[in-house]
Structure 1
Amino acid sequence: MLVGTFCRATTSASAARMSRATSRGAVRSPPTSTPLRGRLRERLRERRTAAHASRSGTPRPNHGALKTYERELHGAYPHHAAGNTLGLWSRYPLRGVERLDLGGAWPHAIRAVARTPVGDTAVYAVRVPSVRVTFRDGFTVRRRDASAARPAERVARDRTRHVVVLDDLNGSLRDRGLAPLTRGLRPAGGGGSGHGQGFTWPAAFPVVRLDHVLVRGLAPTGATVLPDLGSDHRPVLTGLRSVR
């Protein structure tokens, strides 16, 4: 089973590029400025993504980008849920969709249960605020850490056997402020099951991994950071299998 994060579609055009790159798990001729070549292209053709999360780059919903995703991905991903600037698309039926309030003006998350071949899988799409540097307060992480703690409580009490958290945490998994959410979950890739460091930001020349796939009851089989598809973050594609 393949899952992925496809981040921050700031415009309808960038949403279309990301959609074409993921629809049916294959690349459908994205712009020449962001080609997907060689083994990556073949891998996406051979192995179809089960679910992915996408996020708008603005605090307000980008209805144009959302409509583009719906149009481009409907054939391959007929099941989807959206809330504010977050979207979750799946090959498998979704039920029990919850929109989770993380506090503040826009930070939020979506939870849904996907009926996958390995059984019910709770999928969370999470986006927390960025770390800010202000003249008055200096380097501030309080809003981000407080927002990350809210889905942590929901994940901790989730009784679903398989759990997948697709998140833009705006921080490294080594960040102690994110420990309430990452505790009890296994990271997929980024030095684990993938190759290299798995950096995702900034897209032009990534130097840090801000986007993560965290799992429980599943084991990662491989992880890939995809090329720049028109976002300020690079997408992450992860293979998962059931743990018996």
Structure 2
Amino acid sequence: MKTALLFTVLVLSATTGQAADSCRPGAKSVVQDLKSLCQELDKKNETHCQIKTPAKAEKVPEITYGLLSASGKMKGLFEKLNTIQQAFLKESGGCPGGCSKVNSPVVEIKTEPTGTVADPACPAVYSVLQVSATEASKFGVRQTDKFFQKAFRLVGDEKACQEKASTFAQETLMGKNEFGSFLEDHKCKSPCSYASVIRMKTEKLSKAECAVVLELSVQCGPPKKDREWKTNASLTKAFRCEVAP
């Protein structure tokens, strides 16, 4: 956070008596006083710019698809989410005066089979997969309680960042990258099936750069009844207010 006011201190002169006074126990120098004042202003400015209104989530209609229609349906879903996101990124209101708005939209996509069947080789209900610290390091992810986390930063707009993150997530779920193959071979073997949550928090760093934090929850459960899935998605219009530079 930046202090709203910039102080320039000019020390012109000091008498011997004044210098002695400033050195007495408990006495404060002018510089110390101004430093304390700056810190107090920082706290007040940060408090002034805090927002207490919860972020609103906008949902898109649920989609159901099979293997053949999956690509087209997911493409259409991401296009809808991107339309909502681009409109939100242009919004500027919502922050107190003297504060600047930083939009950080959060996309969440939940997918699961439309139906399952029991199998003794698989969990009866979906449970979150976890990896060891060594395994997480090997595949470049971070393990939290319920999610695998991976950060992306690149030259491009918010859409480019989200495409990078969503590609990693989908390739993992389809076993098309090293991490996905490892999960299939060691954590959730066939005929067990996946349910998943993809969460992406995106932020524009500059005109040329964007960043996204991907959180991927992979859950292992009973086999699919049919080769069909359903997906629910939403975009949460999250933002924060910062002290204007």
- TM-score tier (shorter): under 0.3
TM-score normalised to structure 2 length: 0.22
TM-score normalised to structure 1 length: 0.22
**Structure showing the higher strand proportion among its residues:** 1
**Structure showing the higher helix proportion among its residues:** 2
**Which structure's relative contact order is higher, taking Cα pairs within 8 Å and 6+ residues apart?**
2
